[in-house]
Amino acid sequence: MTTDASGIEIVTLTPAFAGVAAALHQTGFDDCWDESAICDLLAVPGAFGLLAFVPAGIEFDGEITAGDIPLGFVLVQTVLDEAEINTIVVDGNARRHGVGRLLMQNVFAQLQNRASARLLLEVACDNDAAIGLYTGLGFGEIGRRRGYYHRKDGPAVDALVMERV
């Protein structure tokens, strides 16, 4: 478990938290994953997940939390010396609080322990905040997937393929 100065804690995402992760995924994606999909991804050899939350009794966003508040999670799959972010989501109310950065920093630490030399991810080309985060963390664009993200209320959006070595 990792705790940062803001009181946010990072724990291993296990199947026991799949319901929490599925609820979080609904806040960030039109094509969201259910508990079963999250459990299936966690069961893949080399996969791991991390969950960010604020524990009860900690001040977050100017208020003392009455109970644990899940903020976001990330799912990663590793194969040999390469890894890919399968998904990362931060609840809308927790964005711009460093949750995504903290999750990614913990992913980097996990991957260092696994000797992963390359990390890949895909991000919607219109998600400026996420692109800024990833660029600031050392990712660069290496490709594009046309029409990858299907939106309920609009046209499909390209995905940028980004890499960090």
- Asked if residues 54 and 38 have their Cβ atoms less than 8 Å apart, the reply is no
Which tokens belong to 88? 């990362």
Rounded to a whole number of angstroms, the distance between the first and last alpha carbons of the chain is: 25
DSSP assignments along 74-92, one per residue = EEEEEETTEEEEEEEEE-G
Which residues are marked as active site? 122, 134
φ and ψ at residue 64, rounded to 5 degrees = -80, 130
Phi, psi of 18 (to 5 degrees): -60, -35
Is 135 strand, coil or helix?
helix
Q: Cβ distance 156 to 108 under 8 Å? A: no
